[in-house]
């Protein structure tokens, strides 16, 4: 009976360890599904889940939509590896300035979003300006000769969520503000208040 009990306890411990391993693997896979592999920030799927969670909380979030200006010419001039460095640098600049209170996501290509809970429109506009300046003043080293390349800029659209608004409408308004920044000459911020 004692032998059977020891074997059962050993089997139970082994099962617990297997369950913990599986739980950790599941958490890793879940994180990978929601994270952009190039930048380490959220991807589109991850950002929508985070936005839905923010919309359920008290306080209405602000949204920054960002796009790297003339990114195709950056890739054409310096190559795709340098373009990847630019994308990572913009993601890092956004993440550093947004901090742990918000979330940064790469929506695809050279487009990003920053979700800002508990931030009013003036604070969001100020943060957008900090991000825009940080990117414009940054220099990224290129390849083997380590030549620093500057002159990378971003355009930003800013919107605050309205009470009861769904994420599709909210994202659309921030996207329209981004489009207005690009149409207005790029390297600028447009706030869409209504």
How far is the first Cα of the chain from the last one, in angstroms, to the nearest whole number? 75
The question of whether 7 is a catalytic residue gets the answer no
Closest by CA position to 170, among listed 117, 106, 131 = 117
Contact 94, 114 (CB under 8 A): yes
CA-CA distance, 91 to 39, in Å (whole number)?
6
8 Å CB contact between 113 and 66: yes
Pairing of strands 154-160, 62-68: antiparallel
- What are 30-36's contacts with CB under 8 Å, separation 24+? 36/91, 36/105, 36/106
Token pair for 122: 């003036």
Give the CB-side neighbour count of residue 172, counting CA atoms within 13 A.
7
Q: Of residues 7, 56, 110, 130, which has the active-site annotation? A: 110
Would you please indicate which residues are annotated as catalytic (active-site) residues? 110
């Amino acid at each position: 009976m004692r032998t059977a009990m020891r074997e059962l306890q050993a089997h139970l411990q082994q099962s617990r360890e297997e369950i913990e391993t599986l739980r950790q693997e599941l958490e890793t896979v879940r994180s990978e599904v929601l994270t952009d592999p190039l930048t380490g920030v959220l991807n589109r799927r991850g950002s929508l889940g985070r936005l839905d969670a923010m919309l359920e909380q008290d306080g209405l979030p602000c949204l920054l939509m960002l796009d790297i200006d003339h990114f195709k010419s950056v890739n054409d001039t310096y190559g795709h590896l340098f373009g990847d460095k630019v994308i990572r640098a913009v993601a890092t600049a956004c993440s550093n300035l947004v901090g742990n209170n918000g979330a940064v996501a790469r929506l695809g290509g050279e487009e990003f979003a920053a979700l800002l809970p508990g931030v009013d429109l003036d604070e969001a506009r100020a943060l957008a300006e900090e991000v825009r300046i940080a990117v414009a003043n940054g220099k990224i080293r290129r390849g083997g000769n380590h030549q620093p390349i500057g002159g990378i800029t971003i355009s930003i659209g800013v919107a605050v969520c309205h009470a009861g608004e769904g994420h599709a409408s909210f994202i659309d308004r921030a996207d329209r503000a981004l489009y207005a920044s690009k149409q207005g000459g790029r390297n600028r911020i447009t706030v869409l208040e209504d």
